[in-house]
Structures are given as C-alpha cells and as structure tokens.
Amino acid sequence: MTATATSVDEPDQLDPQSAPAPRAARLARRLAPAAAATLSGVLLYVSFPPRTLWWLAVPAFAVLGGVLRGRTWKAGLGLGYLFGLGFLLPLLVWTGVEVGPGPWLALAVIEAVFVALVGAGIAAVSRLPGRPVWAAALWVAGEAARARVPFGGFPWGKIAFGQADGVFLPLAALGGTPVLGFAVVLCGFGLYEAVRLAVERRHTRAVRRAAAAVALLSVAVPVVGALAARTLVSDEAEDGTATVAVIQGNVPRAGLDFNSQRRAVLDYHARETERLAAEVKAGKVPQPDFVLWPENSSDIDPFTNADAYAVIDAAAKEIGAPISVGGVVEKDGRLYNQQILWDPEKGPTDTYDKRQIQPFGEYLPLRSLIGAINDEWTSMVRQDFSRGDEPGVFTLDGTEVGLATCYEAAFDWAVRDTVTAGAQMISVPSNNATFDRSEMTYQQLAMSRVRAVEHSRTVTVPVTSGVSAVIMPDGTVTQRTGMFVADSLVQEVPLRSSDTPATRLGVLPEVLLVLVAAGGLGWAVVAGVRGRRAGRA
C-alpha cells in the first residue's frame, strides 16, 4: 500500500501554542452569561440593608435583562436560578447562625427556584414589544408566589424591602410593596433597553421609535411616579399624639439557649421598665402613655406562673402605664405566641395571638420526615405553636395600636388588616436574639420602615436584643438602640387614621400585576407557536 502524505493544512501540523486560545475564548463566552447572572444577583444583595446602596438594585436588574434577552426559556431557567442563588445565599445566611448551614442552604436553594421560574418567563417575553413591562410584572408575580407557598410563604427579600432609603419609597403608599418593587425592577430593565438601543443606534442608526419610547418611559415613569407619590407621605398628627416607651431588656447571651433562661429575660425587661420609671419620677424623661415590650419578653406563661405574673404586674404599677407584653402562653393544650395587654390596675385585659407563625421556627412542617433526616432539628421545635385568627389591635390609654409580631411584618396582609381594623399606629414586637449580630435585624427594621410609609403610620419596633426603633410615618428612624444592650426609647409620636391608596387597595395592585405577567406570557407562547408554524411552512 502507498502511504498518503500529510497535508500541511491539516490540524496536526498547526502551531500547538495557537490551539488553546480559541478554546479558552469559547469557554469564556459560554461561562460569561452564568457569571453575569450570578454576580448581578450578588449586586442585588448588596443593595439591601444594613447597607444604604438601594440604587444598586437598578443596575442589578439591568444586567439580568441583558443576560436573559433572546434566550430560550430553558436557558432563562438556569440563569434565573444562578441570579437567585447569588441574591438569596448571602441575604439569608443569618438563618444558619445557630442551627448550622443545612437549613440556610436548603432555604436558599428552594427559594431560588421561584427566581428561576421568573427567569424562564423573562426570557420568554424578551422578544416582545414592551419587554421591560412584562419582565417587571413577572418579577412581582414571582414574589407573590414566594410569599404564599410553601408552608404559608416566605416573602423575605422582596425588592421593596431593600428600598427603605431610596427615592422610590413613597410608591409604597400608592400601591404597597408590589408597586414599589415593580417600579424598581421596571427601571432596571428599562435602563438595559435604553443602553442597548443607544449602542445599537451608534452602529446602525436605525432604532425604532416605539422601542426607544418604551425604554425611556420604563426609566422615567418610576422616578417621576415616586416623586409625585411624596404627596401621599405625611407626618401630620391627625388624631393627636401619644408618648410611647419602647423597652429593650436584652438577653443573658445570644443564641438559642437564651430560651432556657426565660426568667432572666423577663427580669431584664422588668428591670429596664423600672429603671425607666425612676427616670420618669426624676423628671428626666416624660411619662409614657403606654409601654411596649418585645416578643418573647416573658417566655414564662404569666397565666399559669404566679411569679411571672407578679414581676409583670409590679413593672406595670411602677411605670404607671399599660404594657404590651410578649408572652408564650398555653391555652387548652395549645401553645401561642401572644401579646398581652397588661393594665397597671386591672392586670391582663386583652390578648393577641400571632397568626403568621414561622415554619421550622415556631412549628415544624413534615415533622416525621425531618426527624428521620436529623432528629436534632425536631428537638429544636418540641411543640408546635398554634395560629391566632383575629387581627391584633390594643387600646392603650385611648390609642389604637396595631400589632404585627416579628415575622408577620414581612407579610402585606398581616400589617394591613391592623390598619383597616382601626390602628392609629403599629408596633412590631420582635425577638432577634437567636440570630446574633447578623444582618437579619437590619433587614427586618427596613421592612418596618416600608410599612410605615405604606400605611402612613408611626411604627415602633421593640426587640429583645436590638435593634429597637421608633419610625415616623415617612419611614424616618428617629430613635434606635444598639445591639445586645438594655435600653429604652421614649418619644411623642403622631397618631393617624387616614388611609393611603395602598391601604384601601389592598391586594388589588398585586393581582393586576400578576394578570399583566400572565398576559405577557400568553402573548409569548402564542408568538412562539406562530413562529414555529411559519418556520415549518
């Protein structure tokens, strides 16, 4: 047989140094969208408290818009998931402070699925006219789903909750957290479209006016709307004022084991109240009309333990004002996270049972399955708490005070119905000692600031270990405590009874935005089917 000569043009004769470069470039091009999606998620996280970089949310969504534009829904699913992990993994790290990384990673991985589905939807509508509107509505729809399922939902990380220091905040009074979040996301996707069209114009000089108008309006309308909505925000005292005292008693030490020192926690809050009473008698601070203690300030049931009853009663008599006490109470064999209205003369006169209880914290879903995986987790929640069924509004020395206990502040309905039930101000009693000095307490404080603007009410945040605060109806924090210190805040605050549009509309803005998202998806599906048919023809 005759041997065949090797051509100099064949690959094995190429310079070996030139081959890796194209492969590396191709690999970089393949990984670039994934890296951009992940890093834009991290950028969104950085926009959240305790940082005041709220404006970073806009470029975060601009980058996401660029990453998802023109992708298949499958690619959008994967890239959306990476964006969700980049955002939620660092945002929720506090959930593993005391129980280890397992629950934290599981929560972030599951919650990122909702973001992945939104990413698939955004990719699907990215070929439609008016794509920033459809994309922003899809994000709100994803948040709506995440706030409801599974196990009652987990709305932590709503875009609105990162905007307490931003120019968009007044939109909360217009349409609540859905409208506020929609505006921020719309601005981000609009920014991407505006930049893309500007670049395109430089190269081709052929940009459709309609597309340019949509891009510019997507950026301009949220900003102009936020400026116009400032007229809805007011600190005017419509129903007079009340002098309120917020007590932070502190805990013996941070961590889950503080629950084993329940009497010490109760004593700390009674002691701080008595210290405040001494300052009132000395004329150093004004006499409060009422006093607010945090959630779990008495984990000893005062209805069944005479010593706990005596401690709280003595503190109320010493300060000479009614106290809202956070207690753990057993009724008819059931456990409740309860706020107790304690009158200095009559003792306990009213109660509010927390309605939105925290899964895996106050009750354990799938207890038998979780016990089979790790029985230590089941021992952390030995007995499930039961839910209340009525909104909490206490009449404290003539002031109607709405109650949203800790985790409830994250849920739109749980705060709104205290206002529709007559609350002139809102209190968010909380217990963050479990989460040490993590960002959790600052994230929750930002939620309360958004709620203040949303319903135009003063909001107080009494916390066992900090940060406790007094928030004006415009979202401004006028007083706050440090972390893990005993302290008290006394302030005269405005009382209000008028309703914002957000209070009146309730869930309607969210429903409308979900319908917009559904319409965009429907249009994308129909357009896709027609395109495939045309291709086959």
Options 354, 362, 408, 454, the catalytic residue:
354
With beta carbons less than 8 A apart as the criterion, state whether 392 and 403 touch: yes
Residue 258 phi/psi, 5-degree rounding, is: -65, -20
Is residue 284 part of the annotated active site? The answer reads no
Is residue 406 part of the annotated active site? The answer reads yes
Determine the straight-line distance between the first and last CA of the chain, rounded to whole angstroms. Answer: 52
Q: Specify whether the backbone of 100 is left (phi greater than 0), alpha (psi in -120 to 50) or beta.
A: left
Options 111, 272, 295, 510, the catalytic residue:
295
Options 111, 158, 318, 406, the catalytic residue:
406
Is residue 187 part of the annotated active site? The answer reads no
The rounded distance, in Å, linking the Cα atoms of 503 and 456 is 9
In angstroms, what CA-CA distances link 482 with 195, 438, 486, 527?
A: 43, 13, 9, 56
- Both tokens assigned to 170: 């007044």
DSSP code per residue over 381-415:
T-SPBPPP-S-EEEEETTEEEEE--GGGGGSHHHH
DSSP annotation of 69 reads: T
In the numeric block, the tokens 């029985």 are attached to 375
For residue 391, what are the contacts with CB-CB under 8 A and spacing of at least 6? 355, 402, 417, 418, 420, 421
Closest CA to 445 of 256, 290, 246, 254: 246
- Both tokens assigned to 431: 């217990």
CA neighbours closer than 13 Å in the CB half-sphere of residue 327: 24
Closest CA to 262 of 507, 519, 37, 464: 464
Q: Which residues are catalytic?
A: 295, 354, 406
